[in-house]
Structure 1
Amino acid sequence: MRRLWRASALLAGAALALAGCSQTGTGNGEEQTTTVDGTEEKVDAEKVRLDAMDPSAYGNVEGLDLEAGTYISVIGKASGGDFWDSVQEGAQKAISDINESLGYKGEDRVRMVYSGPSEAGDVDEQVNILDEELARYPQAVGISIIDSQSGDVQFDLAAENGISVVTYDSLSNYQNVMAKISTDNDAAAAEAADHLAEAMGESGEVLIFAHDSRSLTTQERVDGFTQKLAADHPDITVGNTYYLDALEDLKTAIADEINAGTYAKEGQEAAPIEDEESRLTAEDISDEEAMDYIFAKNPDVTAIYGTSGDAVMAAVENTQRLEKEDVSIVGFDATQEEAQALEEGLVDGLIAQNPYGMGYATVVACSRAILELGNEAEVDSGYTWITADNMEDPEVAAMLY
């Protein structure tokens, strides 16, 4: 019952904190904290996010003397959501800073349009958006690639037309990309592994919930995590890795097992289904039943690592539904939903990325490519390890999305 106890402790702590500490936003990206002694500590959230960029040149617009009317396209993996809204906010701030520094107004303003699939992770829609944007002949495109194997044809077309390409968050191995802006996924995953190992008492079995099977980002986060456990935490067993975009394949496997009589849904008895018309297909298996299967096949699991906000919340929702309250959970992102789960003691820790900084740096990298100023091949957007114990720290809170 560790989680219920921790949630109660957090509520008690919150009550005490409210008596002596309050936190308000100032409306200009600045977070103001009133401490126990009545003094005020102000933290510029934007500065915290941009100071995390390495190299630091990608956190400002100095020297970016773009021509009036320059158009930059930024494409994400989704049209909205906490992470992608923050990317768009950062990109728009960079554009505003450029226009302010150059004195551009009206039709002279440098423009940026952010777009992404209406359904997160839709490869075909993202490729269609990329086609549409290239047809508008932007001077540069910044894109977070859903599928690392997609887009090469479009990138070739961009190169032929003098359109620079920058990737951010989820990258591509395409050779003519001008810059790659992302979290150091290897380092972040390794840090998550260290913290999870501590939470597990250096023993037990961990499952991996990965948000997709197609991006380089996921591969890096899975590999960095498993390699760190193997090297420094040998008594922890890594069980299966489940890819959330491959649930349909898993459902097919579940249906096949039920038909063969080697598995049964909860409350049913396993028995072969001989009648062809009664045999199950993937459509007969719900998402919840797929998760039931995962936990039934991994009865000794004591921890779950999620490679994205969606993966973390899938772990939270299903461990709570199945009353597996002693399963430790860590993972990537720091959305509002995840932050609440962290407060409630349902998550042990989170790798907060810097989507605002990614958006800002993407515009900077695109601008540098347009001006032929040269770019760093890789730009580290930074990350922060967040727990229930440090999430009220203003500089840490600035990294929440």
Structure 2
Amino acid sequence: MFRIRSFIMPAILAFILLAGSLIILFITQPSPEKAIKVTAVIKAIANDQEFWEVIKTGMRAAANEFGITLDIQGPWVESDVDGQIRITENILKNDPPTALILAAADYIRLAPLVEQAVSQGIRVIAMDSGVASSRLVTFVTTNNIEGGEKVAAEMLRILEPGRKLAIINHVQGTTTAMEREEGARKVLAQDGRYPLLGVWFTENFEENAYAITVNLLKEYPDLGGILAMNEFSTLGTARALQDQGHAGKVRLVGFDSSLTEIQLIEQGVIAATVIQKPFNMGYLAVRAARDAAANRPLPPFIDTGSVLITADNLYEPENQKLLFPFVD
């Protein structure tokens, strides 16, 4: 009997100590990351634009890594500003998240919703495109003015002085369009040798870029080059130059890095393209949302970078990683 008690009492004490330790650990451990709910409202949810598909991949990778609940919403096309407003209003009314990542389709019109979200205690992170609010936690994006400068500087490098230029941009009113145009105009004005015919907007439809280019070729037979400011603008322009027999004659410098754009660089239709780092952008936006929810300090601006890609540097290992950002 004595020997049995000698075993039972230490076992009971050990159980009590273990249970107490587990209770203390449960009480004192930090809240799990999965308690953070992040909703992202992007410009376009359709899967035909590789830029947004890669951004979504980066966002999901970060959400999986940090154990965050992530919901990605948006209108079908970038030009549907009203649709993006309705989606955001519905989120704030019916399913408010801990943090909101917003890629605003319009710099002015989305601003009131940022104010509303902040008044509800939601931390708001801008991604890709800015919005007219001083209440953002941070802004995760490419430096688009610098990107526009790179497009124009490359055009000036490859095109003889005096040739006429046109800018084909995407959605009027978005900061990406405004800032890329600003950067390009700055470089052209500083040089002063290349007449700029104007700026045309596609509303982010490839077919519109195609039609604009065909009309430009008819109206300006001495057109020297086109600066296209996003993926669809670049693709539509390139296809029109091919179909009209002007590929390589009218120089094209574009933006973004879809597989088709890469092939067109190899074929000499596109002279160069400025690529963003959309995987990084999506990943860093979700990480910023996590940090904002935990009240960690963040810089007001997180630059995800851009790189000029040409036929000469297309196959460099570092650029291949950017062009094909696979996730294990």
TM-score (norm 1): 0.68
Q: Contact 1:211 / 1:308 at 8 angstroms: preserved in 2?
A: yes
Partner of 1:394: 317
Q: Contact 2:123 / 2:289 at 8 angstroms: preserved in 1?
A: yes
Partner of 1:120: 78
Partner of 1:299: 221
Partner of 1:4: none
State the 1:360 CA deviation: 0.7
Q: Contact 1:197 / 1:203 at 8 angstroms: preserved in 2?
A: no
Q: 1:66 to 1:131 in 2, by over 3 A?
A: farther
What SS does the corresponding residue of 2:246 show, helix, strand or coil? coil
State the 1:291 CA deviation: 4.3
The letter for the 1-side match of 2:58 is G
Select the structure of larger CA radius of gyration.
Answer: 2
State the 1:357 CA deviation: 0.6
Q: 1:65 to 1:95 in 2, by over 3 A?
A: farther
Q: Contact 2:202 / 2:209 at 8 angstroms: preserved in 1?
A: no
Partner of 2:198: 240
**Residue segments in structure 1 that go unaligned for 5+ positions in a row:** 1-63, 100-109, 248-285
Q: Which runs of 4+ in 1 moved over 4 A?
A: 64-67, 286-291
1:253-268 aligned within 5 A: none
- Counterpart pick for 2:167 among 208, 228, 233: 208
Partner of 2:43: 77
Q: Contact 1:167 / 1:177 at 8 angstroms: preserved in 2?
A: yes
Tell me, in whole angstroms, the C-alpha distance in 2 between the residues paired with 1:291 and 1:196: 17
Q: Does 1:381 align with 2:308?
A: no
The letter for the 2-side match of 1:167 is A
Paired residues in the alignment total 289
What SS does the corresponding residue of 2:195 show, helix, strand or coil? strand
Tell me, in whole angstroms, the C-alpha distance in 2 between the residues paired with 1:300 and 1:163: 53
The letter for the 2-side match of 1:92 is R
Tell me, in whole angstroms, the C-alpha distance in 2 between the residues paired with 1:120 and 1:159: 24
Partner of 1:353: 276
1:207-356 aligned within 5 A: 207-231=166-190, 233-245=191-203, 291-325=213-247, 326-356=249-279
The letter for the 2-side match of 1:311 is S
What SS does the corresponding residue of 1:245 show, helix, strand or coil? coil
Whose relative contact order is higher, 1 or 2, with alpha carbons under 8 Å and at least 6 apart? 1
The letter for the 2-side match of 1:330 is V
Q: Contact 1:342 / 1:387 at 8 angstroms: preserved in 2?
A: yes
Q: Contact 2:111 / 2:132 at 8 angstroms: preserved in 1?
A: no
Q: 1:289 to 1:350 in 2, by over 3 A?
A: closer
Q: Contact 2:213 / 2:241 at 8 angstroms: preserved in 1?
A: no
**Residue segments in structure 2 that go unaligned for 5+ positions in a row:** 1-29
Q: Contact 2:209 / 2:236 at 8 angstroms: preserved in 1?
A: no
Q: Does 1:195 align with 2:154?
A: yes
Tell me, in whole angstroms, the C-alpha distance in 1 between the residues paired with 2:112 and 2:211: 39
Tell me, in whole angstroms, the C-alpha distance in 1 between the residues paired with 2:204 and 2:298: 36
Tell me, in whole angstroms, the C-alpha distance in 2 between the residues paired with 1:119 and 1:173: 22
The letter for the 1-side match of 2:240 is N
- Counterpart pick for 1:90 among 58, 64, 73: 58
Deviations 1:103-127 (A, max 9, x none): xxxxxxx201112212333112111
State the 1:310 CA deviation: 0.8
Q: 1:66 to 1:376 in 2, by over 3 A?
A: farther
What SS does the corresponding residue of 2:289 show, helix, strand or coil? helix
The letter for the 1-side match of 2:200 is Y
Tell me, in whole angstroms, the C-alpha distance in 1 between the residues paired with 2:320 and 2:294: 35
